[in-house]
């Protein structure tokens, strides 16, 4: 069997569905968009969709399922968000309840699934352009921080933007702006370069989510809007039930990264 990087998305999802792949999906089906998942009750879906529409940098929508359906018709018509993610998390009234490898038994006809872009896409583009990525070098999770940048409210959904950070040389930071600007539908250009305090981050060495990474002399921190934002904001609303992917265990779509490049 070929390397996971070469699996077709369909094969990768099939293996995940059968329980043959239970690990994080980083490096699987290279070149294809992977997505964050947030499933919420239909009653909240309009406000949540509006929230994402109003905050496209942290909440870039890749696909939304019809109420009750697990099939993302646009992103992966042969896939199913109830079964094709290696590890899910279930939250009730905003509290974490359990992890599962299949959510068919907690699914009901009232649920709407949101697939939201993740940074894998633009990281791939950065690497292709010779911009090194520290957390990949250090084999850990990207550091993520809560900022003082308010998202635009929609209905009950509101809260601060969460950002991810990648340190790099100033020369690379300029190239990173160019490279990631090509992908407005998957977080796009950085939202901040430089002084962390300017966006309310007190200690760059203590991320709220993920792991700290080394920042070398002469490097600047470069911040991107992060797909954790919509999950964090939805959690605040304490929906009766909410299903997400477990960190790093993403939904693999049929859409090519390059399909999302605007130029």
Instruction: Give Cα 42 distance to the centre of its chain.
Output: 21
**What's phi and psi for 45, nearest 5 deg?**
-65, -40
Nearer CB in complex with its own copies: 189/235: 189
Binding site for its own copies (CB under 8 A): 42, 45-46, 49-50, 53-54, 61, 63-64, 66, 73-74, 152, 154-155, 178, 181, 184, 188, 262-263
From the CB of 45, what's the least distance to its own copies, in Å? Answer: 6
Least Cβ distance, residue 50 to its own copies (angstroms): 6
Question: How far is Cα of residue 53 from the mean position of the Cα atoms in its chain?
Answer: 16
Least gap, CB of 112 to its own copies (angstroms): 8
Rg (CA), the chain: 18
If the CB atoms of residues 173 and 204 are measured against its own copies, the closer one turns out to be 173
Between helices 170-181 and 120-128, what is the axis angle to 10°? 120
Q: Which of 71, 153, 115 is nearest to 243 (CA)?
A: 115
Q: Which is nearer to its own copies, 140 or 152 (CB)?
A: 152
Q: Tell me how far apart the alpha carbons of residues 142 and 214 are, in angstroms, rounded to a whole number.
A: 11
User: Closer CB to its own copies, residue 188 or residue 190?
Assistant: 188
Residues in a beta bridge with 193? 222
Neighbouring residues of 179: CB distance < 8 A, sequence distance ≥ 6: 122, 125, 126, 129, 131
Nearest approach in angstroms of CB 253 to its own copies is 14
Identify the helix (H) or strand (E) that includes residue 245: strand 242-245
Cβ proximity to its own copies, 67 vs 212, nearer residue:
67
* Distance of closest approach, residue 38 Cβ to its own copies, in angstroms: 15
Neighbours of 148 (CB within 10 A): 11
């Amino acid at each position: 069997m070929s390397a996971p990087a070469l699996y077709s998305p369909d094969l990768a999802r099939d293996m995940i569905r059968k329980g043959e792949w239970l690990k994080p999906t980083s490096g699987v089906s290279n070149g294809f968009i992977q997505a964050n998942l947030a499933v919420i009750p239909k009653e909240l879906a309009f406000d949540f969709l509006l929230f994402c529409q109003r905050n496209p940098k942290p909440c870039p929508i890749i696909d939304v399922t019809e109420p009750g359906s697990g099939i993302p018709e646009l992103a992966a018509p042969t896939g199913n968000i109830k079964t094709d993610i290696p590890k899910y998390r279930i939250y009730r009234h905003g509290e974490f309840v359990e992890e599962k490898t299949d959510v068919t038994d907690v699914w009901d006809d009232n649920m709407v699934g949101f697939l939201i872009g993740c940074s894998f896409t633009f990281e791939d583009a950065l690497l292709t352009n010779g911009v090194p990525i520290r957390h990949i070098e250090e084999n850990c999770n990207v550091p993520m921080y809560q900022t003082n940048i308010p998202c635009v409210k929609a209905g009950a959904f509101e809260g601060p933007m969460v950002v991810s950070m990648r340190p790099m040389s100033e020369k690379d930071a300029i190239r990173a702006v160019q490279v990631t600007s090509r992908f407005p539908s998957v977080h796009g250009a950085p939202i901040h370069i430089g002084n962390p305090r300017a966006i309310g981050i007190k200690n760059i060495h203590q991320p709220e989510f993920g792991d700290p990474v080394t920042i070398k002399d002469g490097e600047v921190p470069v911040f991107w809007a992060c797909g954790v934002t919509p999950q964090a904001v939805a959690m605040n609303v304490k929906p009766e039930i909410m299903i997400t992917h477990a960190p790093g265990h993403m939904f693999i779509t049929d859409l090519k990264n390059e399909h999302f490049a605007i130029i």
